[in-house]
Amino acid sequence: MVLGTYKEAISARSTDSKILDVSQDGGIVSALLCYALDEGIIEGAVVAGTPDEDWRPIPTVVTSSDEVIAAAGTKYSMSPTLAALKEATRQYGLEKLGVVATPCQVQGLRKAQAYPFSRFVADKIKLIVGIYCMENFPMASLDTFATAKLGFDSLTDATKMDIGKGKFWLTKDGEDTGLAIKETHGYEQAGCNICMDYVAEWADVSTGSVGSPDGWSTVLTRTDDGETVFKAAVDAGLIETKPMDEVKPGLGLLEKLAKGKKDKNGKEREKRAQMGLPLPVEY
Amino acid sequence: MLEGIKKIFGGSKDEGAPKVEEKVEAAPETPVETAPAEETKAASAKPRIGYIHLSGCTGDAMSLTENYDILSTVLTEMVDIVYGQTLVDLWIHGTYAEEMPEMDLCLIEGSVCLQDEHSVHELLEARKKSGLICAFGSCAMTGCFTTFARGGQQAQPKHESFAPISSLVKVDCALPGCPVAPEMIAKTVVALCNGDMEYLQPAIDKAACNAGCGCDVLTGIIRQGLCSGCGTCALACPTRAMGFTEGRPSCDRDRCIKCGTCYTMCPRAWLPIKRIKEDTGL
Ligand SMILES: Cc1cc2nc3c(=O)[nH]c(=O)nc-3n(C[C@H](O)[C@H](O)[C@H](O)COP(=O)(O)OP(=O)(O)OC[C@H]3O[C@@H](n4cnc5c(N)ncnc54)[C@H](O)[C@@H]3O)c2cc1C
Ligand code: SF4
Ligand code: SF4
Ligand code: SF4
């Protein structure tokens, strides 16, 4: 169960060109949020936008499809997205919320639901769309990749950022430049080194690029709620799908990377324990 | 009835009728963490609960009453409130209670003022008379905003030291929050009634913790290399003291009231894996 509990693994892509023009991969995150908003399943969502287009993720409350789409695309730096749940419930007064969350954020959300120490926030979370995550970078690391390693004048010159096929990619003037992933090692935030979850194992539905062809996403439906929303969005024609065993490179690669993360970070955890450093207490 | 409550608040998945007699598991005479199972003993049918109000704002009691949908059932069928100034008009320093009754569980709201003999006496008495003491809310657990008291005010200028109750007595479990969230109270009540000690374990482990402050995430999480920048601590903060800089929480100490909720909610401090799996089916 290296991918956690899931109902179905599917390769999928949004059918909306407005989404595909700006989405990171198959636009599944944005398509699901737009559908859930239109259908009233959620009244709003918290996402990571970058309003100044400088790649710095800013937690953002969105209540319309346009706002969802404006926040599409991966920013490879930490977004304290969950902080915006406060704004969404208090200022916006939203009762039904969606959240786009990395695995560590899904853990924060599920803990808040199981132990709701913060009043009347966790009960409003209706849809958790998890995104796969191997690691995350401080902004200064991204600056280093762009300027010192790839020779850009500035990180803001990049129009797209992606990790795939063993490289960290930046796009400038329509041209992709890649940096070998091993060049990025040691620049990720320390907290990622003890993270055991690659595929957002506790989300309602998880998605990421690995396993599917370019421009497509690999989707894992997990809870009943997640499955219902995903299937309904497919039935409504907003998402097209292909069986996972018909696409390349396929689910095997996702499993391999998920296991690799668990093995590597499991060792780091052991090392910490030997040094007498604390780890999260598990109940 | 209990099933209904469980449905509303999604408590224990434990099926079958509530076994009222087993509730007294919540009231062993010695601390639960030593050996909860063995400590179970037969006692009166309903747990006897006390509510003591020390130096707090009554916010925690109000949070308790916000569970109005389950409160009448809890009060009439599931527990006996045997002591408490606000809830049953009984106070040993007033005219209505000569002596503090025996209690299975005593909830204590507010910090204890070391210069107030009544508060000190009531707290020490409560320890003698109660099976379990719960620090109910952040003032009791960490001192919370009463930490900022410095005395010199009317009507008692000498009242200046407002301490977490664990500085005077042994506390068995603690529920932080300024105030404690109503849903958290409901879940705790359901767990207590089911003898679901597993759910209560984090609160039991936090019993003696009085270190509430926004800087706990600095010393306990970031300085330990554990922070993921997820933002849960900022979601937790009731005063919005917790901001973020460069993907890390950063506490505005002028706003922080020392409630300890940020650290309590951080998934890198502790993670209820088993419960989450049960709740989500994942
Ligand atoms: C730090 C990081 C590492 C990742 N690593 C992998 C990986 O190793 N393998 C893999 O397959 N996929 C990974 N992903 C996921 C992948 O990059 C895409 O985000 C995912 O496939 C969704 O694409 P989409 O086209 O469906 O979403 P889109 O429609 O483009 O929407 C993306 C959504 O993600 C949100 N978002 C953007 N940045 C962040 C952030 N930093 N934190 C939280 N939310 C954010 C946006 O608000 C937006 O709603 C990673 C994502 C992040 C943020
Ligand atoms: S690797 Fe883990 S800790 Fe790091 S950002 Fe991703 S999910 Fe969070
Ligand atoms: S909740 Fe914990 S892990 Fe998350 S940002 Fe705050 S301190 Fe870091
Ligand atoms: S930062 Fe906020 S949550 Fe943390 S102790 Fe201070 S007031 Fe409480």
* Close Cβ partners of A207 (under 8 Å, ≥ 6 residues apart): A12, A25, A26, A28, A29, A129, A130, A131, A132, A217, A218, A219, A220
Q: Is the CB of B212 under 6 A from ligand 4?
A: yes
pLDDT computed for residue B96 by the predictor: 67
Q: Say whether B183 and A190 touch across the interface (CB within 8 A).
A: no
Cross-chain residue pair B183–A4, CB shorter than 8 Å: no
**Mean pLDDT across B78-82:** 86
Question: Residue B162: which of B124, B133, B119, B207 has the closest Cα?
Answer: B119
Do residues B197 and B232 both lie within one domain?
no
> Any CB–CB contact under 8 A between A102 and chain B?
yes
Give the pLDDT score at B7. 41
Task: Determine the Cα–Cα distance for residues B230 and A265; give it in Å rounded to an integer.
Answer: 18
| B264 and B155 fall within a common domain | no
Gap from CA of A249 to ligand 2 centroid (Å): 24
Per the structure, the count of domains in chain B is 2
Nearest C-alpha to atom 3 of ligand 3 is from which residue? B227
Give the domain-ending residue among B206, B236, B267.
B206
With a Cβ cut-off of 6 Å, ligand 2 is lined by: A 102-104, 133, 135-136, 191-192, 195; B 228
Nearest residue to B239 (alpha-carbon basis) of B209, B212, B259: B259
Cβ(A71)–Cβ(A49) below 8 Å: yes
A223 in contact with chain B, both atoms CB, cutoff 8 A: yes
Same domain, B244 and B122: no
Same structural domain, B103 and B238: no
Residue A221 CB-density burial (10 A; 0-12 exposed, 13-18 middle, 19+ buried):
buried
Same domain? For B40 and B151 the reply is: yes
Last residue within a domain, chosen from B206, B238, B270: B206
Arithmetic mean of pLDDT, B96-106: 86
The pLDDT score that the predictor gives to residue B41 is 40
Q: Do A83 and B234 touch (CB under 8 A)?
A: yes
**Residue A163: enclosing H or E segment and its boundaries?**
strand A160-164
- Is the pLDDT at B85 greater than 90? The verdict is no
Residues B231 and B202 in one domain: no
A77 contacts in B (CB within 8 Å)?
Answer: 247
Rounded Cα gap, residues A166 and B280, in angstroms: 34
Residue B195 is predicted with a pLDDT of: 84
Which chain B residue's Cα is nearest to A76?
B247
CA–CA dist A134, A97 (Å, integer): 26
Q: Are residues B141 and B274 located together in one domain of the fold?
A: no
Q: At CA B227, angle to CA B221 and CA B230, rounded to 5?
A: 125
Structure tokens at A57: 């993720």
Predicted confidence at residue B70, as pLDDT, reads 80
pLDDT of residue B25: 37
**Ligand number nearest to the C-alpha of A131:** 1
Crossing angle for the helix pair A224-235 and A28-38, nearest 10 degrees?
A: 90
Residues B30, B133: one domain?
yes
Weakly modelled stretches of chain A, pLDDT under 50: none
Of B153, B178, B206, the domain-final residue: B206
**Is B189's pLDDT higher than 90?**
no
Q: Scanning the structure block, which residue is given the tokens 């704002």? A: B57
Any idea which ligand is nearest the CA of B237?
A: 4
CB-based contact (8 Å) between A198 and chain B?
Answer: no
User: What is the domain-level CATH number for residue B76?
Assistant: 3.40.50.700
**Per-residue pLDDT at B150:** 93
Amino acid at A246: E
Residues B140 and B232 in one domain: no
**CATH code for the domain of B251:** 3.30.70.20
Output the CA B260–ligand 4 centroid distance in Å: 6
Between A218 and B90, the more confident residue is A218
The answer, for A116 touching chain B at a CB cutoff of 8 Å, is: yes
Contacts of B146 (CB under 8 A, 6+ apart): B55, B56, B110, B111, B139, B162
Q: Residue A274: what pLDDT?
A: 97
Q: Do A118 and B181 touch (CB under 8 A)?
A: yes
How do strand B80-84 and strand A160-164 relate by DSSP bridges?
unpaired
Using the Cβ of A124 and the Cβ atoms of chain B, whether some distance falls under 8 Å is answered with: no
Which atom of ligand 2 sits closest to the CA of residue A191? 3
Question: What is the pLDDT, as a whole number, of residue B45?
Answer: 66
Q: Which helix (H) or strand (E) holds B279?
A: helix B273-280
How far is C-alpha B260 from the chain's CA centre? 12
- Indicate yes or no: CB of B231 within 8 angstroms of CB of A77: no
Residues B114-166: tens digit of each pLDDT: 999 999 999 999 999 999 999 999 999 999 999 999 999 998 999 999 999 99
Q: Which domain holds residue B175?
A: 3-206
Beta bridge partners of A128: A99
Measured in degrees and rounded to the nearest 5, phi and psi for residue A92 equal -80, -20
How far is the alpha carbon of A268 from chain B, nearest alpha carbon, in Å? 12
3-class secondary structure, A79:
coil
DSSP output for B46-91: S-EEEEEE-BS-SHHHHHHHT-HHHHHHIIIII-EEEEEHHHH-B-
Structure tokens at A17: 């060109």
Tell me the residues of chain A between 38 and 67 that have a Cβ less than 8 Å away from chain B: 59
- For the segment B249-278, the average pLDDT, to the nearest whole number, is 96
How large a percentage of chain B has pLDDT more than 90? 62
The better pLDDT of the pair B25, B261 is held by B261
ipTM for the complex shown:
0.96
Asked if the C-beta of A159 comes within 8 angstroms of chain B's C-beta atoms, the answer is no
> Does the Cβ of B256 fall within 6 Å of ligand 4?
yes
Q: pLDDT tens, B6-45?
A: 443 333 333 333 333 333 333 344 433 433 433 344 444 6
Residue located nearest, by CA, to atom 1 of ligand 4: B214
Within this chain, do residues B227 and B183 fall inside the same structural domain, yes or no? no
- Asked whether A117 and A97 are in contact (CB, 8 A), the reply is no
C-alpha A24 – ligand 1 centre gap (Å): 7
Q: For a pLDDT cut of 70, what percent of chain B falls above it? A: 82
**Inter-chain contact B272–A82, Cβ cutoff 8 Å?**
no
Question: What token pair was written down for A162?
Answer: 């992606």
Give the Cα separation of B232 and A85 in Å (integer).
9
pLDDT band with cut points at 50, 70 and 90 for residue B2: very low
Q: Compute φ and ψ for A126, nearest 5 degrees.
A: -110, -20
* B224 alpha carbon – ligand 1 mean position (Å): 27
Assign residue B14 a region: left if phi > 0, alpha if psi is -120 to 50, beta otherwise?
beta
Contact yes or no for B111/B143 (Cβ under 8 A): yes
Closest to B213 measured CA to CA, from B227, B231, B233, B230: B233
Residues 6+ apart with CB under 8 A from A41: A35, A96, A98, A126, A127, A229
Residues B22, B154, single domain; the answer is yes
Can you tell me the distance from the alpha carbon of A152 to that of A172, in angstroms, rounded to the nearest whole number? 9
Same domain for B268 and B193: no
The dihedral built from the CA positions of residue A216, A218, A221 and A225, taken in this order, carries a sign that is negative
Instruction: Please report the pLDDT score of residue B193 as a whole number.
Output: 79
Q: What is the residue with the minimal CA distance to atom 8 of ligand 3?
A: B227
Whether the Cβ atoms of residue A82 and residue B231 lie closer than 8 Å to each other: yes
Q: Which ligand is nearest to the CA of B224?
A: 3
